[in-house]
Chain A
Amino acid sequence: MDITVEKADDVAVALLPLEELDASNVDELKREIAPLLQSSDKLVIDLARLRFVDSSGLGALLSCLRQLTAKGGDMKLCGMSKQVRAVFELVRLHRIFEIFPTPEEAVRAFRAPAPPSAAQAS
């Protein structure tokens, strides 16, 4: 798994190379993304390639968010396909994560003052 990372100011934008995220590759994802979680406080994960996610995939993304917020950081998501968005909404994770159409908008959101955060509304 090769996660390409770009920096936009102090925000790390990581493009997930996966088309499908399920129980078979969540462990690998967690391993590969761990250094990024260590090194960044502000992370955007671009899910543009992702076509399919299951419950373990959701769990993995949640775990990433937790690790970041535990040290005072934050994570946003962007580039969700319709199918992936549907799964997030079904389990109401769209209230936990901030989701944007493009990486630029997600990065911009880090600069603007945070709106009443959905992350606090869990």
Chain B
Amino acid sequence: MKNKSTIRALLVEDDDADALLLRQLVAEIPGIKIDLAHVGRLADAIARLAERQFDIVLLDLGLPDSKGVQTFVRLHNVDLGIPVWVLGKRDETLALELMSRGAQDYLIKSEIDPASLQRSILYGIERHRTADKRRMESSDRAKSDFLADLSHQLRTPLNSVIGFSELLVDEKVGALNPEQREYLNDILASGRHLLDLMIDVVDLTARERAARIEVAQAREREDEISSRIQQTMLIDQPPEDFPGVRIGALSVPSQRIDGDFYIFINHRNRSLDVIVGDVMGKGTPAALLAAATKSHFLKALSDLMAGSKDKQLPEPKEVAMSAHATVVRHLIDLESFVTLCYARLNMNTRTLDFVDCGHTGVLQWHAETGLCETHHGSDLPMGIREGETYDQRSVAFESGDLFLLYSDGITEARNPGGEMFGTQRLEDCIRSNAQLEAGAFVEAIRSAVFRFAESDRLSDDLTCVAIKPAPAVVRAHMEINSELKQLRCARAFVREFCRQCPEPLLDEDRMGALELAVTEAASNIIIHAYDRCANQRIYVEAEAFPGCVSITLHHTGKPFEPSPPSSLPHASRESGFGIYLIDHNVDGVRYYRDKIGRSCIALVKYCKP
């Protein structure tokens, strides 16, 4: 009960209407979050109290298996340490009796509102905690008082024994024969030994009390720190304003504190890094490791970026390798490891590039087919082997698709029957809800898992991030023959498309640049892919997204993917500028094969720098 932000409550109420009303009231309480579990019978309540952790109980006295004050007494006796609020009709006598028996408060059902409920609960919890502390302190005091008293009572006769033995041994009252001296020395030694033991016992009690207080204080500090760590360091807010993408994120810790984490890094609105990780273990140690792993990733990324000659963004696999190198020794020493998935949503090429280190993989829902696909990496978790290198995979997305990165807390959530939620159910859930906006989507996943588990609390952290690239705002397409003289038609189409987009997306210069790239790409297709064969077709598709325009050329000629020239071709050559011009006039180029086997060149141009 040390974390002020989430209170675990058990509601014991057999009337469904009343229960619903109370749930509503509790949900509306400002400033505190209450996880409410609900049972309808006293027997169930007692069972739940015995096996689960609750902070407070809300109790209706009239239950099918118990009525009146007895209901309270029987429940309260299960665990005197949990404060109980009793709910009922207006009845002063009953209220007073319940308070005298130890109820925290008596609430009149028809007169509760969220604000007064909040006050009552918060004050009650505080009062209970103070009473608890005082009770503990007074029991400690009683114990040490008793021991001090006892030791005082024992000391007096002991002092007699020791004192008189010393007198005799020193022959102050007469000479001793060797045997008498030997026996007297034994008596003296035993007496002194007894005295030492007693001193130790009293001393021990005092020390024990001091230690117990220190431990309680330390635990309180630790919980406070843990929850602050969680709130400020581990739970990132997903970016609201990344153009063309909507992100939904879900984080439900099992205990107060998580080993799960996620990070979002926005690279100048061109690409978005999402890292979802899971540290083995629970509680504060896991959270601290998660925070450390996070910061090592950020440092690796910034070091690689600073050291890069041409300001190129380091690939996820490079960042993962570098971050791993700095943490692996620590993880091995702490006997822990971290599974994670580092994904980069690349808007230039409209791909998701990712590294999967022993994590659950990336789920992709395809808008066009309605099917779910799982993409797995094959890398080990972090902290297993030093010098580990990572592989990166790249998958393309169409607009309307959805990516899901998640932790195994979702697929391994169990229902009362012991069954696991599993990947099949998760895929079904995705298919049913993928139309929703990203935030609503993750909420749908959350309620599906909790509904399946039939519980308000799960044994493992629940984490997931949903990424939804926005659909195209405008689309158009046309076809040309594979003749060079049709190049101007393709250019005219691009110009016309850009001009009739709802907002003025591309300015003149950018439009000109896109026209040039399209011309060069189409020329290459006609000359190289089709070997100047004039009776073939090139399909040109244009899409406008928030922030950029994408032109894709599809052909059925020889596929070619030119190795990019790293520098400007020498001007002594009269050709060869083509690829260079494409690369330097658009922001993203991707060569790929589409679903019907055509070779494609996708060109993406941003509206703003």
Query: B513: nearest residue on chain A (CB-CB)?
Result: A86
Query: B578: nearest residue on chain A (CB-CB)?
Result: A55
Interface locus among A5-13, A20-28, A38-46, A108-116: A20-28
Contact indicator B527/A91 (Cβ below 8 Å): no
Indicate which residue in A20, A56, A83, A90 contacts B575 across the interface (CB closer than 8 Å): A56
Which interface class (under 10, 10 to 19, 20 to 34, 35 or more) fits B? Answer: 20 to 34
Contact indicator A22/B487 (Cβ below 8 Å): yes
Is chain A's binding surface mostly helix, strand, loop or mixed?
A: helix
Contact indicator A93/B571 (Cβ below 8 Å): yes
**Could you name 5 residue pairs across A and B whose Cβ atoms are closer than 8 Å?**
A24-B486, A54-B519, A59-B577, A60-B574, A83-B508
Once the chains are docked, how many angstroms separate the CA of A25 from the CA of B572? 22
CB-defined contacts of B508 to chain A, threshold 8 Å: 83
CB-defined contacts of A58 to chain B, threshold 8 Å: 577
Given A90-B581, A91-B580, CB of A23 within 8 Å of CB of B512:
no
Answer yes or no: A102 CB below 8 A from chain B CBs. no
CB-defined contacts of B197 to chain A, threshold 8 Å: none
Contact indicator B581/A91 (Cβ below 8 Å): yes
- A88-115 interface with B by 8 A CB criterion: 90-93, 96
Contact indicator B572/A122 (Cβ below 8 Å): yes
Indicate which residue in B484, B568, B574, B580 contacts A23 across the interface (CB closer than 8 Å): B484
Contact indicator B509/A23 (Cβ below 8 Å): no
Contact indicator B574/A59 (Cβ below 8 Å): yes
Answer yes or no: B523 CB below 8 A from chain A CBs. yes
Query: B579: nearest residue on chain A (CB-CB)?
Result: A55
Given A54-B516, A58-B577, A86-B509, CB of A22 within 8 Å of CB of B523:
yes
Query: Closest CB of chain A to B499's CB: distance in Å?
Result: 15
| Chain B 506-524 interface mask (CB, 8 Å, partner A; 1/0) | 0011001101100110010
- B223-247 interface with A by 8 A CB criterion: none
Given A24-B485, A58-B577, A59-B577, CB of A90 within 8 Å of CB of B571:
no
- B556-606 interface with A by 8 A CB criterion: 568-569, 571-572, 574-578, 580-581, 584-585
Once the chains are docked, how many angstroms separate the CA of A103 from the CA of B520? 30
- A42-65 interface with B by 8 A CB criterion: 52, 54-56, 58-60, 62-63
Contact indicator B574/A20 (Cβ below 8 Å): no
CB-defined contacts of B584 to chain A, threshold 8 Å: 90
Answer yes or no: A87 CB below 8 A from chain B CBs. yes
Query: 9 smallest A-B Cβ distances: which pairs?
Result: A24-B484, A59-B574, A55-B577, A83-B512, A24-B485, A55-B578, A23-B523, A23-B484, A54-B519
Once the chains are docked, how many angstroms separate the CA of A21 from the CA of B577? 15
Once the chains are docked, how many angstroms separate the CA of A83 from the CA of B574? 20
Given A22-B523, A56-B523, A59-B577, CB of A91 within 8 Å of CB of B487:
no
Once the chains are docked, how many angstroms separate the CA of A90 from the CA of B567? 12
CB-defined contacts of B578 to chain A, threshold 8 Å: 54-55
Once the chains are docked, how many angstroms separate the CA of A122 from the CA of B512? 27
- B521-554 interface with A by 8 A CB criterion: 523, 526-527
Total number of A residues with any Cβ neighbor in B under 8 Å? 24
Once the chains are docked, how many angstroms separate the CA of A25 from the CA of B552? 24
CB-defined contacts of B491 to chain A, threshold 8 Å: 20, 52
CB-defined contacts of A71 to chain B, threshold 8 Å: none
Query: Closest CB of chain B to A33's CB: distance in Å?
Result: 15
Once the chains are docked, how many angstroms separate the CA of A55 from the CA of B571? 12
Contact indicator B484/A22 (Cβ below 8 Å): yes
Query: A95: nearest residue on chain B (CB-CB)?
Result: B571
Contact indicator A52/B515 (Cβ below 8 Å): yes
Query: A87: nearest residue on chain B (CB-CB)?
Result: B516
Query: Closest CB of chain B to A23's CB: distance in Å?
Result: 5
Contact indicator A54/B523 (Cβ below 8 Å): yes
Answer yes or no: A31 CB below 8 A from chain B CBs. no
- B442-499 interface with A by 8 A CB criterion: 483-488, 491
Given A52-B516, A55-B581, A82-B509, CB of A22 within 8 Å of CB of B527:
no
Given A24-B487, A54-B520, A55-B581, CB of A83 within 8 Å of CB of B571:
no
Query: Closest CB of chain B to A67's CB: distance in Å?
Result: 12
Contact indicator B512/A86 (Cβ below 8 Å): yes
CB-defined contacts of B523 to chain A, threshold 8 Å: 22-23, 54-56
Once the chains are docked, how many angstroms separate the CA of A52 from the CA of B486? 15
Query: Closest CB of chain A to B487's CB: distance in Å?
Result: 5
CB-defined contacts of B569 to chain A, threshold 8 Å: 91
CB-defined contacts of A82 to chain B, threshold 8 Å: 509
Taking A23-B487, A87-B516 as known contacts, 12 extra A-B pairs with beta carbons closer than 8 A to each other, sorted by chain A number, are A22-B488, A23-B519, A24-B488, A54-B516, A54-B519, A55-B575, A56-B575, A58-B577, A82-B509, A83-B512, A90-B580, A122-B572
Query: A97: nearest residue on chain B (CB-CB)?
Result: B571
Given A59-B574, A59-B575, A122-B572, CB of A87 within 8 Å of CB of B581:
yes
CB-defined contacts of B526 to chain A, threshold 8 Å: 23
Once the chains are docked, how many angstroms separate the CA of A37 from the CA of B575? 21
Given A52-B516, A54-B516, CB of A23 within 8 Å of CB of B527:
yes
CB-defined contacts of A55 to chain B, threshold 8 Å: 520, 523, 575-578, 581
Contact indicator A62/B571 (Cβ below 8 Å): yes
Indicate which residue in A22, A52, A62, A122 contacts B574 across the interface (CB closer than 8 Å): A62
Query: A54: nearest residue on chain B (CB-CB)?
Result: B519
Once the chains are docked, how many angstroms separate the CA of A86 from the CA of B514? 13
CB-defined contacts of B571 to chain A, threshold 8 Å: 62, 91-93, 96, 122
Query: Closest CB of chain A to B546's CB: distance in Å?
Result: 26
Query: B484: nearest residue on chain A (CB-CB)?
Result: A24
Once the chains are docked, how many angstroms separate the CA of A93 from the CA of B526? 26
Once the chains are docked, how many angstroms separate the CA of A9 from the CA of B568? 38
Once the chains are docked, how many angstroms separate the CA of A87 from the CA of B520? 12
CB-defined contacts of B577 to chain A, threshold 8 Å: 55, 58-59, 91
CB-defined contacts of A54 to chain B, threshold 8 Å: 487, 516, 519-520, 523, 578, 581
CB-defined contacts of A22 to chain B, threshold 8 Å: 484, 487-488, 519, 523
